[in-house]
C-alpha cells in the first residue's frame, strides 16, 4: 500500500529523533558537564515524564524544544542561524504532524528537506535515509505529473480526431435553398392535406 505524506513526515521525524539525540546529549554534556541532565530538564519545562528518561528516548518535539531553548548557551557554538531556522520550522512541522493536519506533497518535501539539512548539519547518518525519502517523493510527484499530462493529451487527441473527421454541415446538407433539398427533408415536402 502506498505511504501517505503524513506517514512520510512521521518517519522523517523518527529519523530526526534518532539522529539528533546523540548530538544534543553530547553538546549538553560538553557545556554543562555533570549538570547536563538537570539543565536539559529545565529547558524542557513542565514535561517531567521525559526529564526522567534518557535523552535517547525523548521524542522529536522534546529534542527540538531543548535545542531551541538552549540555543544561545549551547548550540550557537556549533550550529549557525540557518540551522536555528530549521529547528523552528521542524517544530512547526512536528506540531502539524502531531495534530493530524494533512501534508501536501510540497509540504511533505519541505519537512523532509529541513530534517535532512539539520541531520546533515549535525553529521547524523540518518540524513542519508531522509534523502532517499525525498528522492522517492519527487519520483512519485513526477510520475503523477506524467500520468496527468498523458490523460490531458489523450483527451485532446480523441476530441480533435472526432472533429477533424466530420464534414461541415453545409457539405452534408447541400444547398439548403434548393428544391432538391426541400424534397429530401420530410417536413419540407408537401403533405397530403396541403395539396389543393
Task: Tell me the pLDDT tens digit for each residue of 80-91.
Answer: 999 999 999 999
**Is residue 59 classed exposed, middle or buried when 0-12, 13-18 and 19+ CB atoms within 10 A define those classes?**
middle
- Give the C-alpha separation, 130 to 123, whole Å: 13
What cell does 97 get?
504532524
* This model's pTM is above 0.75: no
Contacts of 110 (CB under 8 A, 6+ apart): 89, 93
Q: What is the model's pLDDT at position 159?
A: 61
- What is the 8-class DSSP label of residue 79? S
Q: pLDDT value at position 39?
A: 79
**pLDDT category, 155, cuts 50, 70, 90?**
low
pLDDT of residue 97: 96
Query: Has residue 142 got a pLDDT over 80?
Result: yes
- CA neighbours closer than 13 Å in the CB half-sphere of residue 103: 26
Q: What residue spans define the domains of the chain?
A: 5-147
Task: Show the cell assigned to 4.
Answer: 501517505
Q: Which whole-number Å values give the CA distances from 68 to 39, 129, 170, 189, in the listed order?
A: 13, 24, 77, 91
pLDDT at residue 64, as a whole number: 94
Residue 184 or 100, more confident: 100
Alpha carbon of 29 to those of 20, 38, 133, 192: distances in Å? 14, 11, 32, 110
Amino acid at each position: 500500500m502506498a505511504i501517505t505524506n503524513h506517514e512520510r513526515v512521521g518517519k522523517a521525524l523518527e529519523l530526526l529523533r534518532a539522529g539528533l539525540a546523540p548530538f544534543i546529549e553530547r553538546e549538553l554534556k560538553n557545556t554543562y558537564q555533570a549538570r547536563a541532565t538537570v539543565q536539559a530538564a529545565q529547558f524542557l519545562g513542565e514535561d517531567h515524564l521525559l526529564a526522567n528518561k534518557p535523552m535517547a528516548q525523548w521524542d522529536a518535539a522534546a529534542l527540538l524544544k531543548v535545542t531551541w531553548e538552549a540555543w544561545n548557551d549551547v548550540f550557537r557554538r556549533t550550529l549557525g542561524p540557518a540551522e536555528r531556522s530549521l529547528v523552528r520550522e521542524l517544530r512547526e512541522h512536528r506540531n502539524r504532524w502531531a495534530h493530524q493536519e494533512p501534508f501536501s506533497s510540497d509540504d511533505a518535501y519541505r519537512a523532509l528537506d529541513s530534517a535532512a539539512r539539520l541531520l546533515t548539519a549535525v553529521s547524523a547518518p540518518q540524513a542519508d535515509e531522509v534523502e532517499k525519502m525525498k528522492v522517492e517523493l519527487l519520483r512519485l510527484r513526477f510520475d503523477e505529473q506524467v500520468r496527468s499530462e498523458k490523460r490531458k493529451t489523450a483527451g485532446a487527441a480523441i476530441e480533435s480526431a472526432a472533429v477533424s473527421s466530420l464534414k461541415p454541415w453545409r457539405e452534408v446538407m447541400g444547398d439548403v435553398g434548393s428544391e432538391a433539398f426541400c424534397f429530401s427533408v420530410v417536413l419540407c415536402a408537401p403533405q397530403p392535406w396541403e395539396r389543393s
